């Protein structure tokens, strides 16, 4: 652990804000927070939290950097992002281990998260030469019309603990090639990964003489977060977190006419039809439900399975759950590590009580794990529960490894208004407030196409014969309904980081008006 922290520049006590390179603010007179390893309960390091004056200094630096950075040609900005990806490659092993040590996801997922950062840098480099606008024909003779995109401003990034570095990279790499500066507030549960990334990126900014393009502020949500959300200088806020907090962020930013990307709750389901290949479905369900200890926004929460194969699927899942090795996530043989903290454990225990109170049946798991093999108080066993989709607890997102089994296709059940079994399954699937990720397992082409059609999944992500978790950076990531509606990462998500402008040039010697309007002589 010591070698990892030293390589990444993390000290026993760390500054809470960076406003360029080097630019670390002093720690004296500032409140300290301690970051703990959830697998052991041991303290990793302390971080000095930024106050309002610190935020003001960082924001001033970011604003100044934006004014300079937006004048740099986009392909040149892309070269800096290329260097950023290469620098991350050098430290992939150490940064991945720090993600595991501080957040608790297994080491394979820690390395995978850093690889995701590298991948988005590669994507952004190519995108820096493809910030295309459209050209269109004018109805007026001697006129030319086209659209172009300009840098937007300072981008505020508020990330969550479950992906402590990847979500920052999704936003900051695209923002950088678009000509924006960024200001990052990481989760107070995982501040060390933010500080480590800033140390890495500072070296890149030094080499390219662009201090202040990437900025970090660690602080309380009620101090730094609230100030960032209300700041008129922050043109766009990308927020990842709960629906409850996201609603507040969205309302606050909208009130000042800023823009947002909101990546909020997920309540993701997989439909398993009688035509499913269970050899594909079982491992996909297992990773989706147990990966990251159920703490992904794309984690699989609900299985909607046909009555005819329900028992076979559940029996196979129960056997698979018995083989999940739970332990220290830094060990490569571990498949599930701890929850992020004891508060998350209590949330899971509360959900277990509610499942029973509402009439659900616990099929396995849902216990706290204690003893010398499970220090820290954050280990649990993953749970499978038989429920009804309309249960209140099922309609909510519990950030823990709880998998709900819901059946469809019972001919004795009242299905008024439902034409087919698959219609019933899709109705269950869509009947939750969230709309992030979804999947169906079927070898039937008609079922797959219906699921992907306008009368199918209402989620931002819909998959066939793969699970709900594990999105690639090439596609835009985000959801609908209470998930927020924003899009990050690939495809044309770059447009959210730029302002769109329509241009018309009159190269004639006349001044015709649109729509044939005559105004005077």
Active site residues: 263, 297
Please state whether the peptide bond connecting residue 22 to the residue before it is cis, i.e. omega within 30 degrees of 0. yes
> What number of CA atoms fall less than 13 Å from residue 244's CA on the CB side?
2
Q: Which two tokens stand for residue 453?
A: 């059609």
Within 131-287, strands assigned E span 135-137, 143-151, 154-158, 181-185, 214-217, 234-240, 259-263, 268-272
Closest by CA position to 249, among listed 150, 159, 344, 173: 159
Q: Cβ neighbours of residue 103 under 8 Å, at least 6 residues apart?
A: 38, 110, 161, 162, 164, 189, 190, 193, 340
3-class secondary-structure state, position 383: strand
Cα–Cα distance between 227 and 7 in angstroms, integer?
32
User: 3-state SS of 2-51?
Assistant: HHHHHHCCCCCEECCEECCCCCECCCCCCCEEEEECCCCCCEEEEEECCC
Residue whose token pair is 């007026």: 140
Cα–Cα distance between 207 and 222 in angstroms, integer?
35
Within 232-322, strands assigned E span 234-240, 259-263, 268-272, 300-306
């Amino acid at each position: 652990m010591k070698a990892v922290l030293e390589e990444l520049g993390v000290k026993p006590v760390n500054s809470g804000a960076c406003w360029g390179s080097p630019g670390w603010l002093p720690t004296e007179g500032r409140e300290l927070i301690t970051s703990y390893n959830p697998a052991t309960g041991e303290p990793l390091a302390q971080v000095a939290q930024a106050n309002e004056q610190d935020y003001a200094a960082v924001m001033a630096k970011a604003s100044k950097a934006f004014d300079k950075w937006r004048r740099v040609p986009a392909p040149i900005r892309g070269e800096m992002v290329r260097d950023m990806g290469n620098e991350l490659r050098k430290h992939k092993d150490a940064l991945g281990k720090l993600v595991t040590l501080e957040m608790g996801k297994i080491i394979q997922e820690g390395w995978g998260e850093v690889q995701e950062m590298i991948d988005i840098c590669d994507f952004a480099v190519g995108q820096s030469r493809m910030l295309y606008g459209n050209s269109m024909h004018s109805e007026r003779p001697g006129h030319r019309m086209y659209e172009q995109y300009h840098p937007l401003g300072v981008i505020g990034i508020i990330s969550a603990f479950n992906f402590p570095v990847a979500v920052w990279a999704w936003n900051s790499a695209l923002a950088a090639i678009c000509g924006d500066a960024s200001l990052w507030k990481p989760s107070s549960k995982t501040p060390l990964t933010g500080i480590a990334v800033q140390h890495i990126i500072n070296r890149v900014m030094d080499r390219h003489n662009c201090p202040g393009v990437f900025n970090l502020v660690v602080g309380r949500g009620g101090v730094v977060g609230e100030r960032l959300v209300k700041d008129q200088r922050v043109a766009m806020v990308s927020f990842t977190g709960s629906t409850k907090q996201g609603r507040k962020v969205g309302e606050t930013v909208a009130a000042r006419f800023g823009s947002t990307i909101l990546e909020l709750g997920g309540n993701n389901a997989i439909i398993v039809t009688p035509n499913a290949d269970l050899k594909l479905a079982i491992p996909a369900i297992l990773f989706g439900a147990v990966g990251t200890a159920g703490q992904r926004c794309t984690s699989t929460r609900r299985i909607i399975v046909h009555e005819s194969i329900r028992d076979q699927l559940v029996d196979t899942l129960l056997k698979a759950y018995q083989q999940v090795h739970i332990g220290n996530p830094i060990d490569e043989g571990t498949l599930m590590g701890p929850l992020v903290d004891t508060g998350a454990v209590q949330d899971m225990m509360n959900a277990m009580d509610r499942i029973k109170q509402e009439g659900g049946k616990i099929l396995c798991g849902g216990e706290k794990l204690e003893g010398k093999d499970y220090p820290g108080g954050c280990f649990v066993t993953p749970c499978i529960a038989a429920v009804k989709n309309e249960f209140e607890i099922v309609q909510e997102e519990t950030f823990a490894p709880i998998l709900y089994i819901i059946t469809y296709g019972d001919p004795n059940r009242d299905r008024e208004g439902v034409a087919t079994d698959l219609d019933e399954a899709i109705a269950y699937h869509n009947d939750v407030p969230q709309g992030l990720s979804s999947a169906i397992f079927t070898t039937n082409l008609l079922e797959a196409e219906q699921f992907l059609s306008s009368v199918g999944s209402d989620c931002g992500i819909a998959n066939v014969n793969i699970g709900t978790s594990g999105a690639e950076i090439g596609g835009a990531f985000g959801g609908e309904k209470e998930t927020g509606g924003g899009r990050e990462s690939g495809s044309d998500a770059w447009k959210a980081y730029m302002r769109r402008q329509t241009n018309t040039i009159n190269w004639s010697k006349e001044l015709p008006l649109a729509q044939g309007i005559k105004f005077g002589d």
